[in-house]
Amino acid sequence: MVITTTHFLILSLTLFVIGLAGVVLRRNLITVLMSIELMMNAVNLNFIAFSWQFSDLAGQIFAIFTITVAAGEAAVGLGLLVALYRLRGSVNLDAATELEG
């Protein structure tokens, strides 16, 4: 069996949908953050798959760049999480409704 770009894309899509479902359906902020990481990695996988197909390094460089930013994002996200926990005594997203209109 020859592994083609299409397989990569299917895997990437699957990961992305799992992440999306996690973001939308889960209430725990830690799970949500992990799901966002999952979605970002699905995107990275896309970049790399197309970089591989077209022999272009730009995609891989972009993926590394995304991982770097994701690290920062995780740091900020966990910081927010700690702050929320201190404020509410819980990390449940339903408790944080200050943006209610």
Partner 1 sequence: MRWLWVIPAAPLAGAVLNGVILRRRIGHRAVSAVATGSVLVSLLAGLGVIGSYLAGGGAGRGVVWTQTLWDWLPAGGLWTTHLGKRLVDFKLAFQLDGLSAVMVFIVTFVGFWIHVYSVGYMHGETGYQRYFTYLNLFMGAMLLLVLGNNFLVLFVGWEGVGLCSYLLIGFYYDQPFPPQAGRKAFIVNRIGDFAFLVGLFALVSRFGSLDFSTVFSAIAADPAAVHQPYALGLSFAGFVALCLFLGAVGKSAQIPLYVWLPDAMAGPTPVSALIHAATMVTAGVYMVARSHVLYDQAPEILAVVAVIGTATALLAATIGLAQTDIKKVLAYSTVSQLGYMFLAAGCGAYGAAIFHLGTHAFFKALLFLGSGSVIHAMGGEQDMRKMGGLRARLPVTYWTFLIATLAISGIPPLAGFFSKDQILSSAFPAHKVLWGVGLATAGLTALYMFRAVYLTFHGTFRGTEEQAAHVHESPAVMTVPLVVLAIGAVAAGWVGLPKLGGWDWNLIERWLGPGYRHVAKGAAHAAEHAGVGLEAGLMGLSVAVALAGVAIAWRVYGGTRGVEGGAAWAHRFPRLHRMLENKYWVDEAYDATVVRGTWGLARLCRGFDGRVIDGLGVHGARNLTLLASYVSGFFDKYVVDGLVNLIGVVLQALSRLFRRLQGGLVSQYALVMVVGVFMLAFFCVLLLTQ
List residues near partner 1 by CB under 8 A. 20, 23-27, 32, 93-94, 96-101
Instruction: Give the nearer residue to partner 1 in terms of CB position, either 11 or 93.
Output: 93
Phi–psi pair at 91, nearest 5 degrees? -110, 20
Q: Rounded to the nearest whole angstrom, what is the least distance from the CB of residue 41 to partner 1 in the complex?
A: 18
- Cα 40 to Cα 19, 43, 69, 74: the distances in Å are 9, 5, 10, 11
Q: Rounded to the nearest whole angstrom, what is the least distance from the CB of residue 1 to partner 1 in the complex?
A: 29
Instruction: Give the nearer residue to partner 1 in terms of CB position, either 68 or 92.
Output: 92
Q: Rounded to the nearest whole angstrom, what is the least distance from the CB of residue 57 to partner 1 in the complex?
A: 29
Instruction: Give the nearer residue to partner 1 in terms of CB position, either 17 or 75.
Output: 17
Helix axes 58-88, 29-54, angle to 10 degrees: 180
CB atoms closer than 10 angstroms to residue 12: 20
